[in-house]
């Protein structure tokens, strides 16, 4: 629908043009940044025209029902331009975005954070700011839409994912991984606007890049267009074409950064600093905006509110369709990611069974077995791996691949793209409909770091299956052997890190990860086989307290061995030797999750840690262990990087052995 | 030179073909992987023909002088194919690579680690294995070559950088950043061979990618070719063309993974597992290789040794040219990265000056001032930033940009590419000739993680200038505010992390970073202004002990405040209040580098930490602090993610204030 046709139905506001609507964004962006004395006016002013056409004519949303599942997703990948989004939200009429919020831009407690923060204001679909995250997360959203559409049909699921990306987003490596994945899967409802203003923070982008972005996106399987980003009809035409393409789309919008600021536009000076009072005054003059700061004429606001009215109509029609659908309940369950209760009963039965069998498998193998139960009990899980499927053991019988043209499957070959996998999983989780999990080697958490941090910051249920979790992976050597990665993950707020010691703890940790809906979980799993360590089954999930006494002593404890994952077995052997050969009462504490242990009462923690000297044992860096071992404790683990050799040789070489634990314990006691 | 012409000069070995030479690689790769019962035969067998032509006809090296500065650099980016490199080294005759090393492939202490490890064997130019690192590091090497050539002329510096990259390397995001940079700078002596075998670990690459790689590299500014990777003359022709191109080159080599193994070739089964005895026997039959395991006929070895002979001749001629050059001494100094002693005298004078002036600046600003001194005193430093030059303050007066066609400058606009920046700096450091430093925000260490870890693993002097180091950056909000990053870096072996508290410590830490030639340093710097905290100048570098008592008490200590960076000022204020208002003898310890403090004697550490209760204060995650504060200590810092607001508001909001320290101290004492 073009503006003219649209306005014909609204005779009271026929004088409002899209130029006026765009200038409202410009003015609000200038004013908010100036008031905050901090922020990025250049991008909102440059992309105001594109955003106006996009929202005015195309975007489907209902600000009164911001969680409407079939809304279009809008992702401001160039998150520093947050005032573009906040201005839009105010103008369209999100109830939680009154003008006062714009006036509190970048202030403590405001919804209008420096970069769009998921959960701060309604309608912010994802946290952006670290460049490239938005576009990669959007790929996950578009995947989720496509997968959900396959399951529920286009009467219930049929929306677009729109992205505004900047030069930074396209320079970051993650963009390559994301567009390759999107192009491969042919995610035709993904439409990316590139704010092609040829300016980055240091100056002209020609300082650092000569990339032909159109050719690059074309090579990835995108439909590509280039337009004047200040030509309203060209913008509209390009969006229409993109929407009708059966490929994902890139629209290169040639824009002028800071457009409207007569003396500064086109310069990096508008990128990340207030324009200043005099330039703002000049800009008001230049764009014909005589209104006071934060003042938008009623007619313009009213025109913007038509976006909401149109969306509300569309939502009402959608509600009728969903209500009439036989799949209505299933759809709701999917959207709310409600896992069936029976799943947890089955996991309990699984544990009981394997305690009896004393199953000895690598925890990655245990994870595969658990996943077999999970994926049979629910259709909500979407698995995948960054090209390590048969190492991570993330696929289970009957799972079919997601492939170009076939979205009925539920296993995603993310390719050798850890970062895009993590970001896409964020997008899938944010979109709703699925609980995503994905695998790689723990060492390659490095490559996924940027997106894993956002899983935590946004509190999304994304489950990372990180196998080959120590020198225990053996011959691949130090580049593949994680050392600092547990510390890195444990130091990150809002992540549950699980390092189970055997098949039973693996099942318990998976259960916790599935039940923990408001944060990501990282399952840290061994390549090598590990014996089952429990003496008896308990319905109780012992891992849920984070740490517990696995082997108590009959006499008062002389020493406590604290360990995680594959080192718990070693600690148990050491405890047996200490008791058997030296009559030293050694307890063993398994600590699958530091975060959960930290959340227990001090009394519980004291009862587990107890007063005897403590030795921490983990084939990883020491950092963090002093919290548990105390000043008089000892640590047995890695002092530096690993090496290439068979795993048993490495454990001996680095002294992570029962013998070394025994010797250290005896020294500590004496 | 083609084989025929080449062989005419060697009448004794005219029966040896390049096919024989390549089959030697195949056989050694099969046999070594089988003996190790672990490894990746598919890639060496698939790329044996390309590698043979490359080394036999083109590569310039002298195994007896593996550090020859003008040797060609060869980077096996697909590092899992390490047996390709080890077989080549053995065949060409590196003295440290006898056949016994091949027989010890992947065993403890062998030079033949699972992936090529820099420093293990001569001729391994960089550690590879994490995919994409090799190609990005190679871009840094090619940059260093080009920069050094500009300075010393092509009689002294004129070599190629050859890369073998796999599908994984090209899927990883870092490859995008790297090729964009290489294409932009027109690094024509960079030649990348893509082992285009269409197989990755999960199976056919069509499972996860539809990328037109040739079009993609072309978009980045590469000359691109595609050849049959088993056609010797086509390989040679493509290399000749690539060497004469004025663009960096991609040669897509269509190969068969595991070529030679009649039943398994072309399948992912050859990728990462031994072929098995019967398939190896069948392969011997198929390729006509009747020789016993690890046995290569003398004639074939002798033919391979011609590579070394040719290289030795070239090196001798080069030595004559260098010896005759007026720049000989300068060149040696550059290659050995010998910083002038006067630089350190000037840094000492700088410190004396600013102690007297009590200069109050942000430590990022202090770093800029220090860099002014450094960059004036030496030409060896090469600076840059990932598009945050005027935030990181990494450029100093008189520094000119490196630009396409102009390599006389020494400041690199790395673009919005933190990962490629870090990897390129590794490449520059490995190449020699320069000491690289580069800046970004500390939070974006996340994006550079993969390459920063390799800086540490390889022990390279790369200096990271990480500014905006806490919530002190203010309004940009939680995505830009590092929390866990200090823990992540401190947990990583082999990195010196410096978080200076004022201009004096900044100068001291820079001095330490410049003097520390065998590891990377990370300078963690504030956005906000910080007062000078020293009472007097000392020639002694107080930061060199990692932590020291900045404010001692006259009476016995009642409490010790431990802090780093911007929180030292807050600790000092708290100590003043404790002494002034409450008569509590509070000492303040500044801890700019935990690693250096850890390296001191226990007696020194005890003298600094002392017996009184301790409070750790750092606007970051707690993880790691328990080592210093002990079981009875307290920590004041961040419990979760940051927020968007002016910095002073955030410090108050999160309770990182003198008042909170005072209250905590009083509680701790009572």
Task: Name the 3-class secondary structure at A417.
Answer: coil
* Cβ-Cβ contacts under 8 Å for A447 (sequence gap 6 or more): A418, A419, A440, B130, B172, B173, B449, B450
How far is the C-alpha of A283 from the C-alpha of A27, rounded, in Å?
Answer: 9
How close, in Å, is residue B204 to chain A by CA atoms?
11
Q: What is the pLDDT of residue B299?
A: 97
Burial class for A265, CB neighbours closer than 10 Å (0-12, 13-18, 19+): buried
- Active-site positions of B read 418
Mean pLDDT for A575-596 is: 98
Q: What is the pLDDT of residue B14?
A: 56
Q: Which residues of A95-120 are buried (b: 16+ CB within 10 A; e: fewer)?
A: eebebebbbbbbbeebbbbbbbbbeb
Q: Please judge whether B389 and A417 are an interchain contact, meaning their C-beta atoms are less than 8 angstroms apart.
A: no
Query: For residue B331, is it within any domain?
Result: no
Residue A418 bears catalytic tag: yes
Q: What is the pLDDT of residue B3?
A: 44
Chain A residue numbers with beta carbons less than 8 Å from the beta carbon of B634 are none
Q: What is the pLDDT of residue A6?
A: 46
Within chain A, what is the greatest distance between any pair of CA atoms? 94
| A147-181 residue pLDDT tens | 999 999 999 999 999 999 999 999 999 999 999 99
Q: What is the pLDDT of residue A169?
A: 98
Q: Please indicate, yes or no, whether residues A306 and A430 belong to a single structural domain of this protein.
A: no
Domain region containing B630:
545-669
Partner-chain residue, chosen from B114, B390, B447, that has the shortest CB–CB distance to A477? B114
Q: What are the backbone angles phi and psi of residue A75, rounded to the nearest 5°?
A: -120, 120
Query: For residue A58, is it within any domain?
Result: yes
Could you please report the per-residue DSSP string of B24-77? Answer: HHHHHHHHHHHHHT-S--HHHHHHHHHHHHIIIII----TTSTT-TTSPEEEES
Q: What is the pLDDT of residue A9?
A: 45
What's the pLDDT band for A260 if we cut at 50, 70, 90? Answer: very high
Mean pLDDT for A455-471 is: 98
Best A479, A597, A616 member to test B by mutation, with max B CBs in 10 Å, is A479
Query: For residue B538, is it within any domain?
Result: no
Establish whether B556 is an annotated binding residue: no
Separation in Å, CA B385 to CA A328, B143, B420, B459, B466: 53, 15, 11, 21, 10
Q: How many CB atoms lie within 10 A of CB A605?
A: 17
Q: Please indicate, yes or no, whether residues B377 and B515 belong to a single structural domain of this protein.
A: yes
Chain B residue numbers with beta carbons less than 8 Å from the beta carbon of A494 are 640-641
Q: Please indicate, yes or no, whether residues A291 and A214 belong to a single structural domain of this protein.
A: yes
At A238, list the tokens. Answer: 């390009």
Q: Please judge whether B115 and A446 are an interchain contact, meaning their C-beta atoms are less than 8 angstroms apart.
A: no
Please state the length of chain B: 670
Contact A81, A55 (CB under 8 A): no
How far is the C-alpha of A56 from the C-alpha of A61, rounded, in Å?
Answer: 11
Q: Please judge whether B207 and A403 are an interchain contact, meaning their C-beta atoms are less than 8 angstroms apart.
A: yes
Q: Please judge whether B419 and A173 are an interchain contact, meaning their C-beta atoms are less than 8 angstroms apart.
A: yes
Partner-chain residue, chosen from B175, B208, B490, that has the shortest CB–CB distance to A623? B490
Establish whether B419 is an annotated binding residue: no
Query: For residue B325, is it within any domain?
Result: no
Chain B residue numbers with beta carbons less than 8 Å from the beta carbon of A492 are 483-484, 621
Contact A60, A314 (CB under 8 A): yes
How far is the C-alpha of B354 from the C-alpha of B372, rounded, in Å?
Answer: 14
**Where are any strands of DSSP class E within A19-125?**
73-76
Tokens 């991609």 correspond to B250
Check which CATH number belongs to the domain holding A582 and give it: 3.40.50.920
Last residue of a domain, one of A285, A320, A355: A320
Whether pLDDT at A345 is above 50:
yes
ipTM of the complex: 0.97
Query: For residue B336, is it within any domain?
Result: no
Q: Which secondary-structure segment (H or E) carries A663?
A: helix A658-669
How close, in Å, is residue A117 to chain B by CA atoms?
9
Q: Please judge whether A106 and B475 are an interchain contact, meaning their C-beta atoms are less than 8 angstroms apart.
A: yes
CA of residue A489 relative to chain centroid, distance: 14
Q: What is the pLDDT of residue A595?
A: 98
- Nearest chain B residue to A207, by CA: B413
At A174, list the tokens. Answer: 């993650």
Using CA of residue B253, residue B256, residue B257, residue B260, what is the dihedral sign?
negative
Contact A569, A649 (CB under 8 A): no
Instruction: Please count the CA atoms within 13 angstroms of the CA of B7 that sit on its side-chain side.
Output: 16
CA dihedral A214, A218, A224, A229 (to 10 degrees): -20
How close, in Å, is residue B451 to chain A by CA atoms?
9
How far is the C-alpha of A74 from the C-alpha of A116, rounded, in Å?
Answer: 12
* Cβ-Cβ contacts under 8 Å for A322 (sequence gap 6 or more): A156, A328, A331
* Distance separating the N- and C-terminal Cα atoms of chain A: 84
Q: Please indicate, yes or no, whether residues A519 and A603 belong to a single structural domain of this protein.
A: no
Q: What are the backbone angles phi and psi of residue B666, rounded to the nearest 5°?
A: -65, -40
Contact A32, A45 (CB under 8 A): no
Query: What residues of chain B score a pLDDT lower than 50?
Result: 1-13
Q: Please judge whether B413 and A202 are an interchain contact, meaning their C-beta atoms are less than 8 angstroms apart.
A: yes
How far is the C-alpha of B414 from the C-alpha of A172, rounded, in Å?
Answer: 11
Establish whether A216 is an annotated binding residue: no
Burial class for B341, CB neighbours closer than 10 Å (0-12, 13-18, 19+): exposed
Q: Please judge whether B493 and A641 are an interchain contact, meaning their C-beta atoms are less than 8 angstroms apart.
A: yes
Whether pLDDT at A2 is above 50:
no
| A352-371 residue pLDDT tens | 999 999 999 999 999 999 99
Chain A residue numbers with beta carbons less than 8 Å from the beta carbon of B78 are none
Q: What is the pLDDT of residue A4?
A: 45
How close, in Å, is residue B269 to chain A by CA atoms?
11
Contact A386, A417 (CB under 8 A): yes
Q: Please judge whether A171 and B184 are an interchain contact, meaning their C-beta atoms are less than 8 angstroms apart.
A: no
Contact A197, A257 (CB under 8 A): yes
Q: What is the pLDDT of residue A14?
A: 56
Q: Please indicate, yes or no, whether residues A313 and A355 belong to a single structural domain of this protein.
A: no
Q: Please judge whether A477 and B129 are an interchain contact, meaning their C-beta atoms are less than 8 angstroms apart.
A: yes
Q: Please indicate, yes or no, whether residues B601 and B508 belong to a single structural domain of this protein.
A: no
Q: Please indicate, yes or no, whether residues B226 and B354 belong to a single structural domain of this protein.
A: no
Establish whether B468 is an annotated binding residue: yes
Establish whether A80 is an annotated binding residue: yes
Last residue of a domain, one of B502, B530, B558: B530
Whether pLDDT at A338 is above 60:
yes
- Nearest chain A residue to B420, by CA: A173
Best A135, A171, A404 member to test B by mutation, with max B CBs in 10 Å, is A171
Chain A residue numbers with beta carbons less than 8 Å from the beta carbon of B210 are 180, 183-184, 220-221, 404
Q: How many CB atoms lie within 10 A of CB B100?
A: 12
Chain B residue numbers with beta carbons less than 8 Å from the beta carbon of A109 are 643, 645
Mean pLDDT of chain A: 97
Q: How many CB atoms lie within 10 A of CB A503?
A: 30
Establish whether A565 is an annotated binding residue: no
Q: Please judge whether A492 and B477 are an interchain contact, meaning their C-beta atoms are less than 8 angstroms apart.
A: no
Check which CATH number belongs to the domain holding B434 and give it: 3.40.50.970
Establish whether A149 is an annotated binding residue: no
Q: Please judge whether A449 and B444 are an interchain contact, meaning their C-beta atoms are less than 8 angstroms apart.
A: no
At B387, list the tokens. Answer: 């598009």
- Nearest chain B residue to A220, by CA: B211
Q: What is the pLDDT of residue A419?
A: 98
Chain A residue numbers with beta carbons less than 8 Å from the beta carbon of B205 are 415
Looking at A18, A279, A368, A418, which residue is catalytic?
A418
How far is the C-alpha of A296 from the C-alpha of A287, rounded, in Å?
Answer: 14
Q: What is the pLDDT of residue B15?
A: 85
Q: Please judge whether A413 and B208 are an interchain contact, meaning their C-beta atoms are less than 8 angstroms apart.
A: yes
Chain B residue numbers with beta carbons less than 8 Å from the beta carbon of A416 are 131, 167-168, 171-172, 200, 208
Q: Specify the pairing of strand B529-530 against strand B548-551.
A: unpaired
- Residues linked to residue B560 through DSSP beta bridges, in sequence order: B587, B614
At B55, list the tokens. Answer: 């080394």
| A6-35 residue pLDDT tens | 444 444 445 899 999 999 999 999 999 999
Q: Please indicate, yes or no, whether residues B444 and B313 belong to a single structural domain of this protein.
A: no
Nearest partner of A411 among A648, A421, A320, judged by Cα: A421
Query: For residue B122, is it within any domain?
Result: yes
Establish whether A131 is an annotated binding residue: yes
Q: Please indicate, yes or no, whether residues A266 and A134 belong to a single structural domain of this protein.
A: yes
Q: What is the pLDDT of residue A623?
A: 98
| A265-302 residue pLDDT tens | 999 999 999 999 999 999 999 999 999 999 999 999 99
Q: Please judge whether B172 and A168 are an interchain contact, meaning their C-beta atoms are less than 8 angstroms apart.
A: no
Q: Please judge whether B493 and A640 are an interchain contact, meaning their C-beta atoms are less than 8 angstroms apart.
A: yes
Partner-chain residue, chosen from A207, A443, A650, that has the shortest CB–CB distance to B401? A207
Q: What is the pLDDT of residue A519?
A: 98
How close, in Å, is residue A210 to chain B by CA atoms?
5
Establish whether B130 is an annotated binding residue: yes
Query: For residue B78, is it within any domain?
Result: yes
Chain B residue numbers with beta carbons less than 8 Å from the beta carbon of A447 are 130, 172-173, 449-450
- Residues linked to residue A376 through DSSP beta bridges, in sequence order: none
Establish whether B167 is an annotated binding residue: yes
Task: Name the 3-class secondary structure at B381.
Answer: strand
Chain A residue numbers with beta carbons less than 8 Å from the beta carbon of B195 are none
At A426, list the tokens. Answer: 């964020």
Q: What is the pLDDT of residue A13?
A: 44
Q: What is the pLDDT of residue B13?
A: 44
How far is the C-alpha of B577 from the C-alpha of B661, rounded, in Å?
Answer: 10
Q: What is the pLDDT of residue B384?
A: 98
Q: What is the pLDDT of residue A15?
A: 85
Q: Please indicate, yes or no, whether residues A510 and A570 belong to a single structural domain of this protein.
A: no
Q: Please indicate, yes or no, whether residues A357 and A218 belong to a single structural domain of this protein.
A: no
How close, in Å, is residue B515 to chain A by CA atoms?
21
Partner-chain residue, chosen from A207, A414, A478, that has the shortest CB–CB distance to B208? A414
Q: What is the pLDDT of residue A543?
A: 98
How many domains are there within chain B?
3
Q: Please indicate, yes or no, whether residues B233 and B375 belong to a single structural domain of this protein.
A: no
Q: What is the pLDDT of residue B220?
A: 98
Q: What whole-number percentage of chain A has pLDDT above 70? A: 98
Nearest partner of A371 among A496, A514, A524, A522, judged by Cα: A514
Q: Please judge whether B478 and A117 are an interchain contact, meaning their C-beta atoms are less than 8 angstroms apart.
A: yes
How close, in Å, is residue B661 to chain A by CA atoms?
20
- Nearest chain B residue to A393, by CA: B202
Query: For residue B232, is it within any domain?
Result: yes
């Amino acid at each position: 629908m073009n503006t003219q046709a649209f306005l014909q139905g609204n005779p009271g506001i026929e004088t409002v043009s899209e130029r006026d609507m765009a200038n409202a964004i410009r003015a609000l962006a200038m004013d908010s940044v100036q008031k905050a004395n901090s922020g990025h006016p250049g991008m909102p002013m440059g992309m105001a025209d594109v955003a106006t056409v996009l929202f005015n004519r195309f975007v489907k949303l209902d600000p009164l029902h911001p969680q409407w599942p079939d809304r279009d997703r809008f992702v401001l990948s160039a998150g520093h331009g947050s005032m573009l989004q906040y201005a839009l939200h105010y103008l369209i009429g999100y109830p939680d975005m009154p003008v006062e919020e714009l006036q509190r831009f970048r202030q403590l407690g405001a919804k209008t954070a420096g970069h769009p923060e998921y959960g701060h204001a309604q309608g912010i679909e994802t946290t952006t700011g670290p460049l490239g995250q938005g576009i990669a997360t959007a790929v996950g959203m578009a995947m989720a839409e496509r997968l959900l559409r396959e399951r529920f049909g286009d009467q219930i699921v049929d929306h677009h994912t729109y992205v505004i990306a900047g030069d930074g987003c396209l320079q970051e490596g993650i963009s390559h991984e994301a567009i390759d994945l999107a192009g491969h899967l042919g995610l035709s409802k993904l439409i990316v606007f590139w704010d092609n203003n040829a300016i980055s923070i240091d100056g002209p982008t020609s300082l650092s890049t000569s990339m032909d972005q159109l050719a690059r996106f074309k090579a990835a399987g995108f439909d590509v267009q280039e337009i004047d980003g200040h030509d309203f009809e060209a913008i509209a035409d390009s969006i229409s074409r993109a929407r009708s393409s059966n490929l994902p789309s890139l629209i290169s919008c040639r824009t002028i950064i800071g457009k409207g600021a007569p003396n500064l536009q086109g310069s990096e000076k508008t990128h990340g600093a207030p324009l200043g009072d005099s330039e703002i005054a000049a800009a008001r003059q230049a764009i014909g905006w005589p209104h006071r700061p934060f003042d938008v004429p009623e007619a313009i606001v009213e025109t913007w509110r038509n976006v909401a009215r149109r969306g509300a109509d569309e939502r009402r029609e959608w509600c009728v369709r969903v209500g009439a659908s036989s799949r209505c309940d299933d759809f709701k369950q999917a959207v709310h990611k409600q896992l069936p209760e029976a799943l947890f009963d089955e996991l309990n039965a699984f544990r009981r069974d394997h305690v009896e069998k004393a199953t000895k498998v690598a925890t990655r193998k245990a994870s595969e077995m658990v996943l077999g139960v999970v994926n049979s009990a629910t259709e909500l899980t979407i698995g995948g791996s960054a090209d390590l499927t048969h190492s991570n053991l993330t696929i289970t019988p009957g799972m079919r691949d997601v492939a170009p043209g076939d979205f009925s499957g539920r296993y995603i070959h993310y390719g050798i793209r850890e970062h895009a996998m993590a970001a896409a999983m964020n997008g899938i989780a944010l979109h709703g409909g699925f609980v995503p999990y994905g695998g790689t080697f723990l060492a390659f958490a490095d490559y996924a770091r940027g997106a894993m941090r956002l899983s935590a910051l946004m509190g999304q249920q994304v489950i990372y299956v990180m196998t080959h979790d120590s020198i225990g992976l053996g011959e691949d050597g130090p580049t593949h052997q994680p050392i600092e990665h547990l510390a890195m993950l444990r130091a990150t707020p809002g992540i549950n890190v699980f390092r189970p010691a055997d098949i039973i703890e693996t099942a318990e940790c998976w259960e916790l990860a599935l039940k923990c809906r408001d944060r990501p979980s990282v399952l840290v799993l061994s390549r090598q086989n590990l014996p089952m360590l429990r003496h008896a089954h308990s319905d109780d999930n012992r891992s849920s307290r984070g740490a517990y006494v696995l082997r108590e002593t009959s006499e008062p404890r002389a020493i406590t061995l604290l360990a995680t994952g594959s080192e718990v077995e070693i600690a148990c052997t050491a405890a047996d030797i200490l008791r058997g050969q030296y009559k030293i009462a050694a307890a063993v504490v398994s600590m699958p999750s530091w975060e959960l242990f930290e959340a227990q009462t001090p009394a519980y923690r004291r009862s587990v840690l107890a007063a005897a000297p403590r030795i921490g044992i983990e084939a990883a860096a020491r950092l963090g262990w002093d919290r548990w071992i105390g000043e008089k404790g000892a640590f047995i683990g890695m002092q530096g990087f690993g090496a290439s050799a068979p795993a048993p040789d490495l454990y001996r070489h680095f002294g992570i052995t029962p013998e070394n634990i025994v010797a250290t314990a005896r020294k500590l006691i004496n």
